């Protein structure tokens, strides 16, 4: 059991997924972005996911200046689920 204190609250993979769109939007504040990057550096699945999202966004077109639509977010979640299922 590790009881090492962490200065940065870690995000779960689910939270990471929620944060990806904000990250790509540049809509994230610094503390949130730091947590996002910490998770990214430690989680290979999410690193892969982020790459997949980037590719998906590229396929959908340029990253919109406004926030991603709910539809797009749902689609990205589907991509994530399929990745997790291997």
Q: Closest separation between CB of residue 81 and Zn ion, Å?
A: 13
Q: Closest separation between CB of residue 25 and Zn ion, Å?
A: 19
Q: Closest separation between CB of residue 65 and Zn ion, Å?
A: 27
By CB under 5 A, residue 38 contacts Zn ion: no
Whether the Cβ atoms of residue 16 and residue 42 lie closer than 8 Å to each other = no
- Binding residue for Zn ion, selected from 27, 32, 38, 43, defined by CB under 5 A: 43
d(CA 33, CA 58): 22
CB under 8 Å to 39, separation ≥6 — which residues?
10, 11, 13, 15, 16, 46
What is the binding site for Zn ion (CB under 5 A)?
13, 16, 43, 46
């Amino acid at each position: 059991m590790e009881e090492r204190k962490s200065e940065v609250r870690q995000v779960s993979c689910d939270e990471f997924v929620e944060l990806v769109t904000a990250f790509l939007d540049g809509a994230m504040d610094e503390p949130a972005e730091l947590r996002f990057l910490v998770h990214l550096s430690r989680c290979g699945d999410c690193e892969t996911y982020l790459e997949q999202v980037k590719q998906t966004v590229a396929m959908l077109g340029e990253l919109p200046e406004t926030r991603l639509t709910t539809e797009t977010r749902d689609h990205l979640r589907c991509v994530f689920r399929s990745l997790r299922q291997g």
